[in-house]
Copies of this chain bind each other. A is one copy, B any other.
Amino acid sequence: MSQEQMIVPASHGEAFRVKAGQHVLIENVYGNQVADLWALAADDAFETSSLDQTRSVNSNIFFATGMTLMSSRRRPMLTMVADSGDVRHDTLLCPCSRELYRQLGCADGHRNCSDNFHEALSALDLALPFTPASLNLFMNVPVAPDGTVDRLPPTTVAGDTVVLRAEMDLVLVLSACPQDVTPINGASRTPRDIGVSLHDTNPAEVTA
């Protein structure tokens, strides 16, 4: 991965090695697309990103600029240092899975973020016997006062970007979510590509 933009193809996953101090720019190329994100410590795949630790440290149920994604050992992994859409990213809901699409009445074989996570790890010769909770970038999940969650299309527009600074050496996994039953990837229910590039400094500051 480099300053040149790489693509996470629609409905697929990719894993990338990122060094502490590097900045990851993630582009919502078409605006409608949710990107499920996980991080694993470079030296121990069992130290994964942890959304319960993340909510505890940030004292918030959403993820936004200035907040840090924490590991299962309560260590900082990735800090969001820029967000052109200034949205509240979801920390609450699970990555989609075979079981979810079965419950939604889809045929077997529907692509899903959980399998994308394991496929992407496998490409780096890594494996985990479970699927950690995901940080769901661009995903619009408002919460009502009674705690009910809704699943709405993203409010982001084509070209919106977030920048995450790595706080440790890690493996970053992204899945361009294949969900095409609910409107979580836009009213047209058409999964799209996500763009990714890696930078030595914050690219949002350079271009600002």
Q: Which residues of A come within 8 Å of B, CB atoms?
A: 46-48, 50-53, 55-56, 59-62, 72-75, 88, 92-95, 97, 99-100, 103, 129-131, 133-134, 143, 145-149
B59 x A148 contact (CB < 8 A):
yes
B100 x A55 contact (CB < 8 A):
no
Among B47, B61, B100, B149, point to the contact of A74 (Cβ < 8 A): B100
Chain B min CB distance to A60 (Å): 5
A94 x B149 contact (CB < 8 A):
no
Question: What are 9 contact pairs spanning A and B, CB under 8 A?
Answer: A51-B52, A51-B133, A56-B94, A60-B149, A61-B143, A72-B130, A74-B100, A75-B99, A88-B147
On whether A52 and B99 interact (CB within 8 A), knowing A59-B148, A61-B61, the answer reads no
Q: Is chain A's binding surface mostly helix, strand, loop or mixed?
A: loop
B100 x A147 contact (CB < 8 A):
no
A131 x B55 contact (CB < 8 A):
no
B130 x A52 contact (CB < 8 A):
no
Chain B min CB distance to A3 (Å): 33
Which B residue's beta carbon lies closest to that of A95?
Answer: B52
User: For residue A145, which residues in chain B have a CB less than 8 angstroms away from its CB?
Assistant: 145
Among B88, B100, B133, B143, point to the contact of A143 (Cβ < 8 A): B143
Q: How far is the CA of A147 from the CA of B92 in the complex (A)?
A: 11
A61 x B130 contact (CB < 8 A):
no
User: For residue A60, which residues in chain B have a CB less than 8 angstroms away from its CB?
Assistant: 146-149
6 further A-B pairs in the complex, CB-CB below 8 A; given A50-B94, A55-B94, A56-B93: A46-B129, A51-B52, A52-B95, A60-B146, A72-B130, A143-B143
Chain B min CB distance to A50 (Å): 7
User: For residue A92, which residues in chain B have a CB less than 8 angstroms away from its CB?
Assistant: 52, 55, 61
User: For residue A133, which residues in chain B have a CB less than 8 angstroms away from its CB?
Assistant: 50-52, 133
Which B residue's beta carbon lies closest to that of A143?
Answer: B61
User: For residue A94, which residues in chain B have a CB less than 8 angstroms away from its CB?
Assistant: 50, 52-53, 55-56, 74
User: For residue A47, which residues in chain B have a CB less than 8 angstroms away from its CB?
Assistant: 130
